[in-house]
Amino acid sequence: DLYDLDLEDTAPEAAALEHPNESTDIDYLPIDEHNLEKSFPLDYMKRAVEYFDEKDPLTGQRKRNWCTVKHIFRRIPNSHCISRFRKYVENGGTKK
């Protein structure tokens, strides 16, 4: 009887346990203006923007490119978040 167990019937249940639901897991939520403050503390956003915007006094250009910033601030998924962070910080930590 043990060998008569159909393994195909249990496969969808096991797959559901291994892969969380993308709509409820906060790690899968895209970072936008609605969940920005939940994903990153204001201090983290300020440090990331200041680090990215720092200028070289000799050339007047940014000291760092996106790859360098991404290496230091690993939680930031893409460069578009820096502009969102900048806007959020300029507004004093509010979305408006």
pLDDT tens-place string over residues 44-66: 999 999 999 999 999 999 999 99
Residue 10's pLDDT is 52
- Is residue 9 included in any domain, yes or no? yes
Residue 72's pLDDT is 94
- Is residue 50 included in any domain, yes or no? yes
Tell me how far CA of residue 74 lies from CA of 41, 49, 77, in angstroms. 14, 14, 7
Task: Report residue 33's pLDDT band, with 50, 70 and 90 as the boundaries.
Answer: low
- Is residue 72 included in any domain, yes or no? yes
Residue 3's pLDDT is 55
- Is residue 70 included in any domain, yes or no? yes
Residue 92's pLDDT is 84
- Is residue 95 included in any domain, yes or no? no
Q: How far apart are CA 37 and CA 45, in angstroms?
A: 9
Number of structural domains found in the chain: 1
For residue 82, pLDDT over 90 is answered with yes
Domain membership of residue 18 as a residue range: 2-90
DSSP state, 30? P
The alpha-helical segments, DSSP class H, found in the chain are: 7-18, 36-39, 42-53, 66-72, 80-90
- Is residue 96 included in any domain, yes or no? no
**Distance between alpha carbon 45 and the CA centroid of its chain, in Å?**
12
Kindly report the pTM of this predicted structure. Answer: 0.60
2 or 61, which is more confident: 61
Q: What is the mean pLDDT of residues 12-27?
A: 51
95 Cβ contact list (under 8 Å, min separation 6): 33, 36, 37, 88
Beta-bridge partner residues of 48: none
- Is residue 25 included in any domain, yes or no? yes
